[in-house]
Structure 1
Amino acid sequence: MNQKERMLAGLPYKAWMDGLAEEQLENKKRIYEYNLCRPDEGEKIERSIRDILGKAGKNVYILAPFHCDYGRHIEVGDNFVANYNCVILDVAKVVIGDNVMFGPNVSLLTAGHPIHHESRNSGYEYGIGISIGNNVWIGGHTVVNPGVSIGDNAVIGSGSVVTKDIPANVVAVGNPCKVLRTITEAERDYYHKDKKFDVSDY
């Protein structure tokens, strides 16, 4: 197995070998062009982000600046919105479902390093994939760590550090992120805490 194959298999690998550094450089060029698009260049923005991502559904909006390692290992579904300063370290696969929203400064980090300093200083690192279900909202300044899965309809409170899997249909928050409560059907009538909708088309 070469180092790229090891990386994609979730095994320890060295990131500067077997063409990996060159692949990252090519992606950095694509990211650079994307982040310099004028805000009124809609077609160029769409074309550029689709050239970066491995798979993208309909209505994908990632507000610049955006950063990722390879891009090709990221799959997003329909109606995806990521606010400013999204970072996705995609040395392993990142799969994001439909109708997902990220607040500003959200980081998905599949990359990791050994805990022991001697092992870490050897240059080996690893990547473990991240999976995010449908209808998920991740609040601003949230970090999602390697190997985490977030279930459908979950809401992750801002400033969270998600170190373990989060089930579907819950509000979770904190460092480390923990389930706060289940989302109920009664909440459908409220747009924020005790504030009820004053419209009927929600």
Structure 2
Amino acid sequence: MNRNTTTVAKLLGVVVFMGGLAWASVPLYDWFCRVTGFGGTTSVAEAGSDEILDRTITIKFDASLERGMPWEFRPVQREMEIRIGETGLAFYEAYNPTDQVVAGQASYNVAPYAAGGYFTKIDCFCFEYQVLQPGERVTMPVSFFVDPEIVNDADGKHAQHITLSYTFHVTDVEEDTALLAPSESGGVN
């Protein structure tokens, strides 16, 4: 191989390597955040905690919309006090005031960030796309608990409250008639 061919091969290898890193960066970052709670990312569990402490913590609820999202979206209650380890159930309300079917996906985070890894969701509307028909209003639940291990964390043990924030984004959902058709119960599909 001559020198020019070797240089081109090395540059092509660098481009392919960098492209691979760019492609893998989003899933790797998502995995990192879920494992560590970095950036306020929450944990997910199949069931509630086995341990409930006498110490309480206030959970605050926040809701916002991405620019261009036509829905109205709000927490049903602004805050609740629960014991650490106790399963909490909160509700958010969404309304589609338009004359079109609108699909959305909620992104979420927790503040303070030190509490992210200890805030554990059992079930959440944010795990799935939400599709609202024209004029449809729905109440969406989120069940959660604060892992008792938070009291052993150097930063987390000082948290007096945790804020759970959701932002709804417009989602392009394929024109799948089963997904976009109204459900028999009148709620979200």
Structure 1 length-normalised TM: 0.23
Structure in which a larger fraction of residues adopt helix:
2
Instruction: Decide which structure has greater strand share.
Output: 2
RCO comparison, higher one (Cα < 8 Å, 6+):
2
Task: Give the TM-score taking structure 2 as reference length.
Answer: 0.24
Q: Which structure is larger by alpha-carbon Rg, 1 or 2?
A: 2
